[in-house]
Structure formats: C-alpha cells, structure tokens
C-alpha cells in the first residue's frame, strides 16, 4: 500500500467526476461523495467536479492530473466521457472507450460473449410490434424486458405473460430507444467484483422482490448480501475465471463488476458487466473488498491507481 506522500506525488491533483445528467444522477452523486471522502482520508488531493455544472475544460484550467470517474449511465459510463478525457490527454480510472461502450450496450456485449462461448441467456432486441409477438415463441415466459443502454435496473421489468409485453416495452422506451427481452433465469443471483486481474470474494444476493431492481439496490434495507457467498472454494474459483473472461472479453479493464445467475441446475449465466459500479452504502464492490481485507479508503486508492497503468494519451503501458 502506498504511503500518503507517495500517493500525493504519484496521483497529483485528482478530480472526482460525479453527478452528470442521466437517470442515475442521484446515485452518482452519492458514489462520488463517498469516493471523494475515501480518497481524502488517504491523503489524496481530490476535488469534486460535476460535468453538468462546469465544462470539462475546467480540468485543464485548474491543473488536474487525473480523474476518478464516478459517473453512472450514459454520458459517463458508455465511452463518451472516456473519449473526451483521452482527447484532453488526462488519465482516468477504469475501462477505456471500447470496453465502456460494449459494457453499456447489452446487445453487442451478449453477442460478443456468445462468440466467445461464455454462457449468457438467450435474448432478442425488440424493435417493432412483430418482435413483441416473437418473444413468446423465441424465448417463452417469463422474460426480462430492459433498455439496452441503461444501468441500475432502470426501466427493467419481469414479464410473465404476453399481455404484459407492450407496457414493459413502453416503460423501457422511456429510458432508451432500444429495448431487449432476455430469457429469465430462475436461480440464485451473484456478483463478482473485479479489481485489476483479481476477482474479489463473490456475493450472493437475496431479495424478497422479483429481482435485484433499483429499489433493492439503493432504497430499501431488506436485501441480504451473503459474502462469503456459500459456494465451495473451488467452485467459486472456477466461476471467477468465467467472470474474468467475460470482463476482459469485452475489453473492460481496471475495475468493475460482473453480475451472473446460477440456475436451478447450478449452471452459470452471465447477465451484464458494470464498468463503474456504485460505491454507496448499499453497494457491492465495497462489501466484496472488505471481505478481501480492504477498507473503503484502500479500495478507492487502488481503483485510482488504475489510472497510472496507461499514459496520458490512454495508450496501454506494456512491460
């Protein structure tokens, strides 16, 4: 672990990008504030910056050396912000443009996983009413209907009958012009936090709700987080290898989270990758890190250190 003086020398002046102008703004503000406090607790010269309030050129004008991205959703997590920071030659945390864009686009992400042989539930993109009619024959029921480009389960709904498809599609359309239906997996829900090339202890989620939705993630206190997750160590290691492959297979890097299910037969199904997971009081990555022996301050410093792994032009530094 770096000492305080070493951190100040290596990291310099750090901007924590938070807020933004998306459906996940409020969660991003909470994440950013937690990250800001964590970095400052370890002596990092960190400052908040909300791109909805000030232009990104402020980073240059105020002499920031690097950025901790704490933005969620489109405009912050989908490669747009990463591309802007590359244009400004400012190092940043987490995945680059390609990995961020693929993780946010659930359809292209799943197509890539299918090509790599990574198990992921069958799906179709719903573009017309004809596609709605095809859902029952192609996937059966139940299905999960959700926006292609959203996080935090915004606009997502479980559909158990054909009559529910149109309302679910309409609800998802309020968040995104592209909507998908995905075969529902009955079983236990897990998440694997990733830091560098390391898979942190897995968490098994247990919620009384239909699924781990927005309210279960951020608003209510009836979700149970089992960490250790209860799987045998060898099985957890095997699943960790699949989740790391799913993460790296879409060019994600630095840190993130892979959500997956184990069906009733114990087979894994990768659901999605989150390249900038939440860091609130309800969030999963800090819980996994704590189980691995890292408190919150150490976790955010290690995440910030991912910005040192590439040069200011965001070209990956090779040994």
Residue 69: CB atoms within 10 A of its CB come to: 29
Exposed, middle or buried: residue 194 (CB in 10 Å: 0-12, 13-18, 19+)? buried
The 45-49 sheet, strands edge to edge: 45-49, 13-17, 66-69
167 has a pLDDT exceeding 80: yes
Angle between helices 233-249 and 106-116 (to 10 degrees): 120
Average pLDDT in the 121-149 region? Answer: 85
pLDDT at 80: 95
pLDDT at 72: 92
Sign of the C-alpha dihedral computed for residues 4, 9, 13 and 14 taken in this order: negative
pLDDT at 284: 94
Q: Which of 37-41, 66-70, 145-149 has the lowest mean pLDDT?
A: 145-149
Strands (E), 22-142: 45-49, 66-69, 123-126
Give the confidence band of 280 by pLDDT, cuts at 50, 70, 90. confident
Summarize pLDDT for 219-231 with one digit per residue, the tens: 556 789 999 999 9
pLDDT at 4: 47
The three-class DSSP label of residue 226 is: strand
What does DSSP say about strands 224-226 and 255-263: parallel, antiparallel, or unpaired? unpaired
pLDDT at 177: 75
Average pLDDT, the chain: 88
Summarize pLDDT for 253-268 with one digit per residue, the tens: 999 999 999 999 999 9
Please report, for residues 91, 157, 162, 198, the alpha-carbon distance to residue 170 in angstroms, rounded to integers and kept in the order given. 39, 11, 14, 39
Rounded to whole angstroms, the Cα distance separating 252 from 247 reads: 6
Q: Which of 79-88, 174-183, 184-193, 252-261 has the lowest mean pLDDT?
A: 174-183
Which of the listed ranges 7-11, 141-145, 152-156 does the model predict with the highest average pLDDT?
141-145
Give yes or no on whether 102-120+186-296 and 123-183 have one common fold. no
Average pLDDT in the 4-26 region? Answer: 83
Summarize pLDDT for 63-114 with one digit per residue, the tens: 999 999 999 988 899 999 999 999 999 999 999 999 999 999 999 999 999 9
Architecture of the CATH domain 102-120+186-296? 2-Layer Sandwich (3.30)
Please report, for residues 2, 9, 66, 251, 316, the alpha-carbon distance to residue 46 in angstroms, rounded to integers and kept in the order given. 16, 13, 10, 28, 24
315 has a pLDDT exceeding 50: no
Contact present, 56 and 66 (Cβ < 8 Å): no
**CATH class of segment(s) 123-183:** alpha beta
Which of the listed ranges 174-183, 208-217, 290-299 does the model predict with the highest average pLDDT?
290-299
Exposed, middle or buried: residue 115 (CB in 10 Å: 0-12, 13-18, 19+)? exposed
Domain boundaries, the chain: 4-93, 102-120+186-296, 123-183
Contact present, 142 and 184 (Cβ < 8 Å): yes
The three-class DSSP label of residue 199 is: strand
Q: Name the pTM for this structure.
A: 0.87
Q: Which of 14-23, 276-285, 309-318 has the lowest mean pLDDT?
A: 309-318
Rounded to whole angstroms, the Cα distance separating 240 from 202 reads: 8
Identify the DSSP state of 193.
Answer: E
Please report, for residues 76, 128, 141, 265, 317, the alpha-carbon distance to residue 89 in angstroms, rounded to integers and kept in the order given. 17, 42, 48, 48, 15
CATH of 4-93, one of 3.20.20.80, 3.10.310.70, 3.40.50.20, 3.30.470.20: 3.40.50.20
Q: What are phi and psi of 75, to 5 degrees?
A: 90, -15
Q: Which residues are catalytic?
A: 24, 152, 218, 257, 259, 272, 274, 278
pLDDT at 122: 95
Residues paired with residue 272 on neighbouring β-strands, in sequence order: 259
Rounded to whole angstroms, the Cα distance separating 257 from 162 reads: 32
Which residues does 232 contact at the CB level (< 8 Å), separation at least 6?
Answer: none
pLDDT at 269: 98
pLDDT at 223: 83
Label residues 86-110 b or e (16+ Cβ within 10 Å = b). Answer: beeebbbbbbbbebbbbbbbbbebb
């Amino acid at each position: 672990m770096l000492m305080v003086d070493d951190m100040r020398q290596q990291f310099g002046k750090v901007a924590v990008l938070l807020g933004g102008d998306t459906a996940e703004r409020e969660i991003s503000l909470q994440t950013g504030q937690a990250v800001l406090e964590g970095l400052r607790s370890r002596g990092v010269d960190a400052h908040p910056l909300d791109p909805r309030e000030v232009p990104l050129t402020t980073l240059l004008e105020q002499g920031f050396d690097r950025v901790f991205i704490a933005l969620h959703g489109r405009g912050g997590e989908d490669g747009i912000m990463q591309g802007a920071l590359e244009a400004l030659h400012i190092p940043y945390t987490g995945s680059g443009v390609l990995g961020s864009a693929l993780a946010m686009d659930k359809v292209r992400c799943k197509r890539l996983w299918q090509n790599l042989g990574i198990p992921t539930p069958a799906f179709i993109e719903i573009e017309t009413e004809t596609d709605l009619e095809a859902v029952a024959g192609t996937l059966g029921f139940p299905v999960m209907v959700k926006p292609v480009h959203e996080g935090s389960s915004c606009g997502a709904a479980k559909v158990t009958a054909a009559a529910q498809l149109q309302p679910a599609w309409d609800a998802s359309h309020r968040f995104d012009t592209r909507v998908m239906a995905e075969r529902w997996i009955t079983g236990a829900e897990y998440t694997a936090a990733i830091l560098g090339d390391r898979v942190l202890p897995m968490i098994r989620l247990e919620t009384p709700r239909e699924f781990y939705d927005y309210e279960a993630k951020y608003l209510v206190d009836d979700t149970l987080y089992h960490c250790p997750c209860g799987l045998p160590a060898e099985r957890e290691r095997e699943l960790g290898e699949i989740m790391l492959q799913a993460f790296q297979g879409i060019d994600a890097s630095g840190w993130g989270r892979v959500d997956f299910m184990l069906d009733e037969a114990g087979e894994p199904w990768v659901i999605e990758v989150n390249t900038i997971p939440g860091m609130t009081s309800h969030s999963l990555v800090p819980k996994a890190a704590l189980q691995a022996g890292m408190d919150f301050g150490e976790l955010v410093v290690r995440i910030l250190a991912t910005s040192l792994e590439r040069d200011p032009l965001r070209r990956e530094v090779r040994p």
